[in-house]
Structure 1
Amino acid sequence: MNKNTISFETSSWAGEVSGNPIKAVEAFFAFADLDYYKQNLTEVVVYSYKSEVYEANNPSNAFVFYTAMNNFLKLCYCLQEKSKKWKVTASLPSEMFSPLSSLTKEEYDNPFIVFQKAFNEKTLEEFESFLCLMLELSMSPNPTDPYSDLTTPYIYLIKMLDAVYLMKERGIEKIKECKSA
């Protein structure tokens, strides 16, 4: 039986990566660093309330950012589904935990919790709609008061960025199953 491979649709920003979320994580952070994603996400949200247009001088940057983040959501959804079969390999001492991170101590110890909480709160489609709405509003010269909750998806996206970055730094692996004799 053939296994279906998941395409993370990274070809527009990082080359094609299919089926392997670890390689997709590497490609995501090879394209840009954590600060780039967090800063741009924050700017998109801020510009959604302004009459100024986000990336007015080069709108293609906004499109590339949107594409990368939309594919990042698919990656996070995939990681959430694999949370029972995978684990973070390297454990960092608790004194390495930074309260400046968006993650709680529990999420820092097990970043998979972030995805479970996020996708229990909002669906993948709701996160994708949030990104689309934010890009639309931030690129419009007419400020509009968004009619939906923008805070929850924004906070979860920041947390997911931190969680995936932490997983990249610490490494993830499949959990070995113990077979009874």
Structure 2
Amino acid sequence: MKKNKKKFETKFWAGFEVGNPFEASDALFDFAHLDYYKRNLTQAVLYSNKKEICSEDKPGEIFIFYKAISSFLKIYYSLQKKSRKWKVKESARAENVFHLTSLTKQEYDNPFIVFRKAFTEKTLKEFEFFLSEIVSLSLSPYKGELDIDLTTPYIHLIKMLDAGELMRERGLEKIQKIKGSKEKAEC
């Protein structure tokens, strides 16, 4: 029986479809730098409650950003499910260096924690809804009271972007099951 590959919808922004989450993650950060994603996410949230339109001269860029972040959510939702089989390699940097300031020390040491927390609090569909709402609102001249929570998903997404970049920088390795670990522990 052929196993169905997960679709991460990378064709629109990457130019090809990637079925492997590890390769899709690499493609995502090869497509654009972390700062691009964080800047556009912040800009979309800020413009979601303004009369001005975000990127009025190039609104297509917001759509590409939307597709890339939508893929990001699917990729890392899939990866966080694999967190029992994979771990992030140890950092070669000094322990007190945090270039990804949204992460706590514990999250810096194990970025999978960020995704577990985020997807425990909000579902993948809720994150996708948040993303579609901020993009839609940032591209329309609407100003008024919003009845959705923008802060919580925004903070989670910023942290997930930092954690995703950290995972890519340090790399992942398969967790080796140690045979006879009980026997070694008893000695």
Q: Give the TM bin, normalised by the shorter chain.
A: over 0.9
The whole-number CA distance in structure 2 between the counterparts of 1:168 and 1:116 is: 17
Give 1:21's aligned amino acid.
P
Q: CA deviation at 1:122?
A: 0.3
Within 5 Å, give how 1:1-181 maps onto structure 2: 1-92=1-92, 93-98=94-99, 101-180=101-180
The whole-number CA distance in structure 1 between the counterparts of 2:41 and 2:170 is: 24
The whole-number CA distance in structure 2 between the counterparts of 1:48 and 1:97 is: 30
Q: CA deviation at 1:9?
A: 1.0
Residue range with higher mean Cα deviation, 112-121 or 55-64: 55-64
- 8 Å CA contact 1:137, 1:144 repeated in 2: no
Q: TM-score, normalised by structure 2?
A: 0.91
Give 2:120's aligned amino acid.
N
Deviations 1:10-64 (A, max 9, x none): 0111133433212111110111100010000000000011100012112211110
The whole-number CA distance in structure 1 between the counterparts of 2:77 and 2:106 is: 20
Gaps of 5+ in 1: none
Q: TM-score, normalised by structure 1?
A: 0.93
The whole-number CA distance in structure 1 between the counterparts of 2:137 and 2:18 is: 32
Residue range with higher mean Cα deviation, 2-11 or 32-41: 2-11
The whole-number CA distance in structure 2 between the counterparts of 1:115 and 1:142 is: 32
CA RMSD of aligned residues (A): 1.6
Residue range with higher mean Cα deviation, 3-12 or 163-172: 3-12
Gaps of 5+ in 2: 182-187
Q: Secondary structure at the match of 1:96?
A: coil
Q: CA deviation at 1:177?
A: 2.5
Residue range with higher mean Cα deviation, 87-96 or 149-158: 87-96
Identity %: 57
Q: CA deviation at 1:148?
A: 1.1
How many residues align structurally? 180
The whole-number CA distance in structure 2 between the counterparts of 1:142 and 1:117 is: 32
Q: CA deviation at 1:133?
A: 0.6
